[in-house]
């Protein structure tokens, strides 16, 4: 059994060697079934291999987050600029048209709300596999709490969701939450992202950090990065750019899009970085142009 003390530190990430891909472009998913690959191909554009996911699930623990007071008004205009909509089934069902062409990533677990001091004590299933199929979900997102009291419970929910997902060809997105005792370090993200992939996640959502190149290299499935708290637009574009250059396969971004003074401008600018390799400065011009059109 692997133990915690006296291990040799991992160090050889072969950063100059691309991940081995055998016949399918979404990292680590070549051996999955056709339906799973078809859904992954709806999420990750074949042309770039990357994805822009728009996260608007914040209300599942926070209630009406700034910028998401009226999801029915804020999110639909952004749909043309993103590949995946990430939300709870309650909000997707009530605020998003079933005619929407974007893929849907449904958050399938619940957690304690922000009213509790420690939200990371482990939640439960909010949307079971039958409901995910009924929603025609392209992906199921599970929150996990590595290094926190809810670690074991959340890993079980991840594994059970991945079991159900592999039966029906629906990928599982493992979401790394950073508990209040954890620091956002390379060491933490190396461990957390790898643990999620090893427990069945087809895709991992995490955060950008120093040393991200090693985190991405050591994770056998694609990592998409969350945006986190609202940054000035150029800084958010710089973070997305660095993440893509260092091995991320996209973003799952919320506040840095819908809290921008031009959500449509930011969604388009992020898309340019993720899919077309625009530099932050070039993408910022896109944001400014769209903003000035108003
Ligand atoms: C957080 O609880 C939510 O799951 C969000 O989906 C996630 O944090 C990404 O959104 P943001 O870019 O606003 O951090």
Beta carbon of 142 within 6 Å of any ligand 1 atom: no
Domains and CATH numbers, the chain: 34-227 (3.20.20.70)
User: Hey, whose CA ends up nearest to atom 2 of ligand 1?
Assistant: 58
Q: Which residues of the chain have pLDDT under 50?
A: none
Query: What pLDDT shows up at residue 1?
Result: 54
Q: From ligand 1's centre to the CA of 177, what distance in Å? A: 9
CA angle at residue 204 from 171 to 279, to 5 degrees? Answer: 115
Query: What pLDDT shows up at residue 241?
Result: 98
Query: What pLDDT shows up at residue 122?
Result: 66
What would the pLDDT profile of 54-103 be if each residue is shown by its tens digit?
A: 999 999 988 899 999 999 999 999 999 999 999 999 999 999 999 999 99
Shortest-distance atom of ligand 1 to CA 56: 6
Known active-site residue 272: no
Query: What pLDDT shows up at residue 6?
Result: 72
Query: What pLDDT shows up at residue 260?
Result: 98
CB 225 within 8 A of CB 241: no
Query: What pLDDT shows up at residue 3?
Result: 65
Task: Evaluate if pTM is beyond 0.85.
Answer: yes
């Amino acid at each position: 059994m692997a133990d915690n003390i006296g291990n040799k530190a991992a160090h050889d990430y072969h950063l100059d060697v691309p991940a081995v891909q055998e016949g399918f472009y979404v990292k680590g998913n070549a051996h999955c079934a056709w339906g799973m690959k078809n859904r992954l191909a709806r999420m990750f554009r074949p042309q770039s291999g990357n994805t822009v996911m728009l996260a608007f699930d914040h209300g599942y623990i926070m209630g009406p987050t700034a910028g998401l007071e009226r999801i029915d008004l804020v999110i639909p205009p952004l749909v043309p600029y993103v590949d995946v909509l990430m939300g709870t089934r309650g909000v997707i069902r009530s605020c998003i048209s079933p005619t929407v062409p974007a893929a849907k990533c449904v958050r399938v677990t619940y957690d304690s709300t922000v009213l509790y001091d420690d939200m990371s004590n482990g939640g439960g299933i909010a949307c079971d596999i039958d409901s995910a199929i009924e929603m025609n979900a392209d992906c199921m997102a599970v929150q996990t709490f590595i290094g926190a009291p809810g670690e074991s419970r959340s890993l079980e929910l991840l594994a059970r969701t991945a079991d159900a997902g592999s039966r029906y060809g629906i990928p599982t997105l493992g979401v790394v939450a950073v508990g209040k005792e954890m620091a956002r370090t390379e060491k933490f993200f190396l461990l957390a992202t790898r643990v999620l992939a090893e427990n069945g996640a087809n895709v991992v959502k995490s955060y950008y950090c120093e040393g991200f190149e090693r985190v991405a290299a050591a994770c056998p499935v694609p990592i998409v990065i969350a945006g986190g708290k609202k940054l000035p637009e150029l800084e958010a574009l710089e973070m997305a750019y660095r993440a893509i250059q260092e091995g991320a396969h996209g973003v799952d971004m919320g506040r840095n899009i819908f809290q921008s003074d031009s959500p449509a401008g930011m969604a388009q600018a992020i898309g340019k970085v993720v899919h077309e390799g625009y530099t932050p400065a070039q993408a910022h011009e896109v944001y400014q142009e769209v903003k000035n059109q108003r």
